[in-house]
Structure 1
Amino acid sequence: MAKVLCVLYDDPKDGYPTSYARDDIPTIESYPGGQTAPTPKAIDFTPGTLLGSVSGELGLRDFLESQGHTLVVTSDKDGENSVLDRELPDTDVVISQPFWPAYITAERMAKAPNLKLAITAGIGSDHVDLDAATKHGLTVAEVTYSNSISVAEHVVMMILGLVRNYLPSHQVVLDGGWDVADCVSRSYDLEGMHVGTVAAGRIGLAVLRRLAPFDVKLHYTDRHRLPESIERELNLTFHPDTASMVPHCDVVTVNAPLHPETEGLFGEDLLATMKRGTYLINTARAKIADRDAIDRALHSGRLAGYAGDVWYPQPAPADHPWRTMPHHGMTPHISGSSLSAQTRYAAGTREILESWLAGTPIRDEYLIVDGGRLAGAGAHSYSTR
């Protein structure tokens, strides 16, 4: 029998919901490109409910306990005496979400001899030390594509929010004011701007498709160039690397995984090459940007705005400079954790567990590390040192 340790974020401050704003959510059966949505044998939850918090348990308890397995669910993941550290030594499977990551470091792996599988409920597995996972023979899997469109929608929202100066204008209403000149003095049209994405995978390409109707000029860079047919369809300009793309852009969105090639990419040197007044959106990973360089670029006016929902560490401390820097549109890490997305990544987590517990292959597109090497989606998206 297996022990499964699930690390999830805390319930809402006023308690686990007893009702929701909507009675249902659309059923998504497949994603762009043809990959099918998660197909577990069954689910033990109601789609559209809060599954990613502690009481939601990703809908896994009945499934696991009915087969004799043990499920431990906690939000306590940091500090020397955290529940995560106390429970990990005899754990077989650890599950967490990018929004509340359980950092599975080489040190934690060394203290967890039974650990065989690390699952990301969602996408983005950089909170697991992938180099150490390959050495320890640990399988790492994530629910690829489950919340990619969710993140892409969030990116478009943030671009419009920054360019149109939406958040400060909304605050004027909340404060009882009618300060039109103050609101529009930083408001522009997106139409005609040059928008570039760093990486054009599932999320980046979805962003490009959603922005095309805004009559913007679209740019991208990716180590895997898109087919010529897509470049023609969206009128895309390809750049061989980020450094050659960003000087042409009014808006840059980062949609790349965190790995050695992207860590610290948006630092002082790269920011200095960008047009004054560029907007930067980062829903990928915080460490792709230099924390203090971003803060300075906003104060100096090099950047007109910065928005994203990824921080380091997570949760971010109260004194994190991104909470108070000017002209930002930061959110806690929520872009990929809508109730719609939770339905898919909870179902995908169960699908992965069903395969692993039955000793059958995990879907190749879900695999990040397997058999001591990058595998599946991981071989396409990540690199190791």
Structure 2
Amino acid sequence: MAKVLIVLYPDPVTGYPPEYARDTVPEITEYPGGATLPDPQAIDFVPGQLLGSVSGGLGLKRWLESEGHTVVITSDKEGADSMFERELPDADVVISQPFWPAYLTADRIERAEKLQLVITAGIGSDHTDLNAANARGITVAEVTYSNSISVAEHTVMQVLVLVRDFVTQHRISEEGGWNIADAVSRSYDLEGMRVGVFAAGRIGRAVIERLAPFGVRLSYTDRFRLPREYEERYGLTFHDSIESLVREVDVLTVHAPLTDETRGLLDDELLATMPRGAYIVNPARGAIADRDAIVRALESGRLAGYAGDVWDPQPAPAGHPWRTMPHNAMTTHTSGTSLSGQARYAAGTREILERWFAGEEIRPEYLIVEGGGYRGTGAHSYAQQPTQAAGEQA
């Protein structure tokens, strides 16, 4: 029997919801491109429930305990005396979400002598030291594609919020004003703007497909060039580097994983090459952007706006300058944890656990590292590889 340590964000300050705004969520039968949804043997929750907080428990507690496993669920993850630190040394499995990540550093992995499996309930495993996991032969998995569309929708929303300057307009309305000139003095149409997508994986492609009907001019960069027919369908211009891309865009959306190559990439030098008045939306990882460089670019007018859903670290401290910098539309990493998305990544987490406990193979699209090396999605997203030709995009 295993000890499963689950780290989730706290319940709502008003308490776990006794009811919800909607009675149902739409049933999704497949992902775009025909990829299959999670397929656990059963689930112990109703889709649309709040599963990502402590009381929701990803719908796993009853099932795991019925199978004889020990389950610890906590939101307390910071500091040497946190429950996460106390419970980690003898945990066999650690599960957390990108929105409230349990940071598994090399030091913590060294002290977690029994750890065999790490699961990201969602997408993105950079909060685990993957080199240390490989060295120990720990399996790392995530629920690929479970909330990709959730994040893509949030990205499109934030693009529109920035370009139309929605935050200012809503604040004037909320405060009882009717200052139309003030409300529109930074408001533009998205139509005709040049939108660049940094990394055209599942989320990046979903953003392209959703923005195309707005009449924008689309371009992208990625290690893996998209098929020619896809580029033609959406009028895409390919750039072979981020440096080339940012010179030619009015709006940049960021969807790259956090690696040694992308950490701090959006710095003063790169931002200085963007057209004055450009916008950036970053729902990928906060550390891809240089925190203070973003603030300086907004204060100087180099950037017209910055929105994002990710911070460094997470949760961000109350004094983080991105909370108060001018012309921001930041959110607290909520894009991928809509109630709809939670149902999918909770089901995928259970599927991974079922397969692992049964000694069965975890499907490749969920794997990041296994057996001491990058596997599946991890080999595509995290391992260093040469650029592949068009049509080989995974």
Counterparts of 1:213 and 1:47, CA distance in 2: 30
Asked whether 1:88 is paired with 2:88, we answer: yes
1:163-218 deviation line (CA, Å, top 9, x unaligned): 00101100101100001000100000000000001000000000000000000000
Which residue number in structure 1 is paired with residue 242 of structure 2? 242
Which residue number in structure 2 is paired with residue 277 of structure 1? 277
Asked whether 1:262 is paired with 2:242, we answer: no
**2:9 partner letter:** Y
**2:21 partner letter:** A
Counterparts of 1:128 and 1:31, CA distance in 2: 27
Local SS of the residue matching 1:108: helix
Counterparts of 2:28 and 2:131, CA distance in 1: 34
- 5+ residue gaps, structure 2: 386-394
Local SS of the residue matching 1:80: coil
Counterparts of 1:282 and 1:319, CA distance in 2: 20
Q: Does the 8 Å contact 1:260/1:383 carry over to 2? A: no
1:280-322 deviation line (CA, Å, top 9, x unaligned): 0000000100000000000000000000010011110011000
Which residue number in structure 1 is paired with residue 190 of structure 2? 190
Aligned residue-pair number: 385
Which residue number in structure 2 is paired with residue 351 of structure 1? 351
The 5-angstrom pairing of residues 129-278 of structure 1 reads 129-278=129-278
**2:313 partner letter:** P
Local SS of the residue matching 2:307: strand
1:229-256 deviation line (CA, Å, top 9, x unaligned): 1001001000001000111000000011
The 5-angstrom pairing of residues 108-123 of structure 1 reads 108-123=108-123
Which residue number in structure 1 is paired with residue 27 of structure 2? 27
Counterparts of 2:80 and 2:164, CA distance in 1: 45
Q: CA deviation at 1:148?
A: 0.3
Counterparts of 1:286 and 1:47, CA distance in 2: 29
Local SS of the residue matching 1:377: helix
Which residue number in structure 2 is paired with residue 323 of structure 1? 323
Q: CA deviation at 1:27?
A: 1.1
**1:79 partner letter:** G
Counterparts of 2:255 and 2:79, CA distance in 1: 30
Which residue number in structure 2 is paired with residue 40 of structure 1? 40
**1:290 partner letter:** D
Q: CA deviation at 1:384?
A: 6.2
**2:93 partner letter:** V
Counterparts of 1:29 and 1:106, CA distance in 2: 39
Structure 1 runs of 4+ with >2 Å offset: none
Asked whether 1:376 is paired with 2:376, we answer: yes
**2:273 partner letter:** T
Q: Does the 8 Å contact 1:259/1:383 carry over to 2? A: no
Counterparts of 2:7 and 2:153, CA distance in 1: 26
Q: Does the 8 Å contact 1:130/1:384 carry over to 2? A: no
**2:187 partner letter:** S
Local SS of the residue matching 1:11: coil
Which residue number in structure 1 is paired with residue 362 of structure 2? 362
TM-score (norm 1): 0.99
1:60-84 deviation line (CA, Å, top 9, x unaligned): 0111011100110000011011100
Counterparts of 1:27 and 1:6, CA distance in 2: 27
**2:181 partner letter:** A
**1:151 partner letter:** V
TM-score (norm 2): 0.97
Which residue number in structure 1 is paired with residue 4 of structure 2? 4
Counterparts of 1:315 and 1:163, CA distance in 2: 27
Q: CA deviation at 1:383?
A: 3.0
1:254-288 deviation line (CA, Å, top 9, x unaligned): 01110111111100110000000000000000010
Q: Does the 8 Å contact 1:265/1:290 carry over to 2? A: yes
Counterparts of 2:291 and 2:349, CA distance in 1: 32
Local SS of the residue matching 1:79: coil
Counterparts of 1:361 and 1:119, CA distance in 2: 15
Aligned residues with identical type, % of pairs: 67
1:111-163 deviation line (CA, Å, top 9, x unaligned): 11100000000000000001111111110000000000000000000000000
Local SS of the residue matching 2:240: coil
Which residue number in structure 1 is paired with residue 17 of structure 2? 17
Q: Does the 8 Å contact 1:147/1:337 carry over to 2? A: yes
Q: Does the 8 Å contact 1:91/1:112 carry over to 2? A: yes
Q: Does the 8 Å contact 1:139/1:370 carry over to 2? A: yes
**2:271 partner letter:** L
- 5+ residue gaps, structure 1: none
The 5-angstrom pairing of residues 91-102 of structure 1 reads 91-102=91-102
Q: CA deviation at 1:108?
A: 0.4
Q: CA deviation at 1:92?
A: 0.3
Local SS of the residue matching 2:145: coil
Counterparts of 2:284 and 2:92, CA distance in 1: 29
**1:83 partner letter:** M
**2:67 partner letter:** Q
Counterparts of 1:247 and 1:178, CA distance in 2: 37
Which residue number in structure 1 is paired with residue 391 of structure 2? none
**2:289 partner letter:** A
Counterparts of 1:30 and 1:380, CA distance in 2: 22
Asked whether 1:296 is paired with 2:325, we answer: no
